[in-house]
Amino acid sequence: MQAAYDWLQKNHEKIIRNLADLVAIPSISTDGEHAHEIERTAKLTCDQMREAGLTNVEVLRVGSSLPYAYGEWLGAPGKPTVFLYAHHDVQPVNYREQWETDPWHLTRKDGRLYARGAADDKGAVAAQLGAIAAYMQTNGSLPVNIKMLVEGEEEVGSKNLMQFFERHKSKLQSDVIIVCDTENIEVGLPCITYSLRGIVQAHVQVKSAEIPVHSGMAGGALPDAAIALNVLLSRLFWDNAPYNIPGMYDQVRQCTEKEKAAFRKLPGDENKWRKDCGVLPQVRFAMEKGMTPYEQTWRRPAVTIIAQEASNVKRASNQVLPTAEAIVSCRIVPDQEPEKVFKSLEEVLTKDAPWGVQVTVTNTGMVGWWMTDPNGPAFEAALGALRKGFGKDPVAIGSGGSIGFVGPLAELFGGAPALLLGIEDPASNAHAPNESLHEGDFKKLMISLVDLFDNLGKLPGGKVK
C-alpha cells in the first residue's frame, strides 16, 4: 500500500498533465456542435486507460449515442468486481467574461485547478486512473477486478445510458459501483452521498395570437403573451413556505429526527452559504422556515425556471408578442412519483389562464430520485478508505443534484452497493464560470481510492453487502 501512495506522490505532476490534456478538449455535449471534440476525448480517455494498465480498452456506442470509453482489468479471481463510472463530456463555457482563466487550459491558482471539466467530471477520470496506475505500477496487479466506463453524454441527461447498460449487461456486470461525481460539503471533509433528488422538466408555452402586432396600434387591446406567461409562472412563488401546488407534498418522505439531527451537526452557516452561492447582501434565502440548506436541498422538492423566452433583448421591437415560453425544472425527492409531480405542475400552470390564452405544458424529461442505506461491508470499506485518504472522519450526506442511472444500474446489477464519493466542493462552480478542483482534495481522493480497492479486496468471501 505504501508503495502505491508513494507512487501517487512521485507521479502527481504526470497525473496533472493527463488531466490537463483532457480538459484541453472542449467536449461540450449540450449544443450538438462538438461531436468531433467528444470523439477526441473518448479516444484520449482510452489511451490513458491503456497507460494506467487497463485491458480490452475500446470506444463503445449504442444506437446514435455519443462515444463511451471502456476498459477493464479482470485478473483477481474470487475478488469483487468494481464498476467505476465517470463522464468525459462537459458543459459549455457560459458567462465567458466572468472567467478569470482560460477555461480550456488547466491553471493552478491558490491551491486549485481551474478549467471547464476539471471537477465535473474529468477530474474523476484522472483520479480513478491515477489510483489504478499506482497499484499496477507498484504491484503489477489490482486487489479487485475493475470495469471502468466513461460516458460521453452525461450533461445531456445520459439519454442512451440505460439502453447501453441493457445492451452490455453481461460485459459490465459488477458487484459494487463507485462514482466520483458528487460533492464534499467543505474542503477537506470527505463525504459519501446516500441520496439524490430526481428531475421532472416541463416546457411551458403560451400563445395569444398568430402574429406579433405593433404595440402602438394594439398595445392594451391585445393580450401580451409574455405577461400572461409570467402571471402563470408567478404561481410557483413560494416565499419561505411550501409550494402552493396541490399534491406536491403528498408523497414526500419526511426526514427522521435522527436525520435532522445529523444535518444540524454538519458544518456551515449563513455567511458561508451566502459566500459559496454569491447571494447579494440584501437578498434573503428562500428556504422554508426552520430548515437548513441541507434539509431543503436534499430532502425537499424544488421548482426552478431554468429558461424563459419571448423575444430577443438585443433585437427587441415595439410589438405585442404572440408567444412566450419557459422551461420549468422540478427536483423531486423520496417518495415522489415523477408522473404525479408533472400532473400537479401542469394543473397549476394551465388553470384559469389570463385572458384565456392558450397554454401548453409538455413533459420534456424525468429522472427518478435515489436513496440507499449507507451501511454494510462496501460502505464500511469506503468510509475507512476516506478516513485514510483525508485524515478525517467522513460524513454521509444527501445531494440536491441528480445522477439518474445510479438506482437503475444498482438494480440491474442485482442490488449492488453504489458508493458516491465527493470530488467537488462548494467553490468548484461546476456548470458555472471558473470551475475548479481543489488540488489537495484531489490527492486525498486518489489515496482513498487506492485504499478502497484494497479494503474491498480484503472483504471476507468477497461479500460487499
Q: What is the pLDDT of residues 228-279, one digit of tens each?
A: 999 999 999 999 999 999 999 999 999 999 999 999 999 988 888 898 888 9
Region at 259 (left for phi over 0; alpha for psi -120 to 50; beta for the rest): alpha
State the average pLDDT over residues 304-329: 95
**pLDDT above 90 for 1:** no
357 falls in which pLDDT band (50, 70, 90)? very high
Res 270: pLDDT: 86
**Between the CA of residue 233 and those of 15, 287, 327, 332, 384, what are the distances in Å?**
47, 19, 10, 19, 47
Q: Is the peptide bond before 335 cis (omega within 30 degrees of 0)?
A: yes
Q: Mean pLDDT in the chain?
A: 96
Can you state the percent helix, strand and coil of the chain, rounding each to 5? 35, 25, 40
State the average pLDDT over residues 67-77: 98
> Hey, what amino acid is at 179?
V
Number of other residues whose CB lies within 10 A of the CB of residue 45: 31
Relative to beta strand 191-196, strand 418-424 is antiparallel
Give start-end residues of each CATH 3.30.70.360 domain in the chain: 198-252+301-366
Res 235: pLDDT: 98
Integer Cα distance of 133 and 73 in angstroms: 12
| pTM exceeds 0.85, yes or no | yes
Integer Cα distance of 455 and 196 in angstroms: 25
**Closest alpha carbon to 109 in 435, 372, 380, 447:** 435
**Residues making up the chain, counted from first to last:** 465
CATH of domain 198-252+301-366: 3.30.70.360
**pLDDT above 90 for 146:** yes
Q: What percent of the chain shows pLDDT beyond 70?
A: 100
State the average pLDDT over residues 339-344: 97
Which of 3.30.70.2740, 1.20.210.10, 3.40.630.10, 3.40.50.150 is the CATH number of 2-196+369-462? 3.40.630.10
Give start-end residues of each CATH 3.40.630.10 domain in the chain: 2-196+369-462
143-157, 221-235, 272-286, 433-447: least confident range = 272-286
**Closest alpha carbon to 306 in 228, 424, 208, 200:** 200
State the average pLDDT over residues 273-298: 92
Q: Which residues of 113-149 are buried (b: 16+ CB within 10 A; e: fewer)?
A: bbbbbbbbbbbbbbbbbbbbbbbbbbeeebbbbbbbb
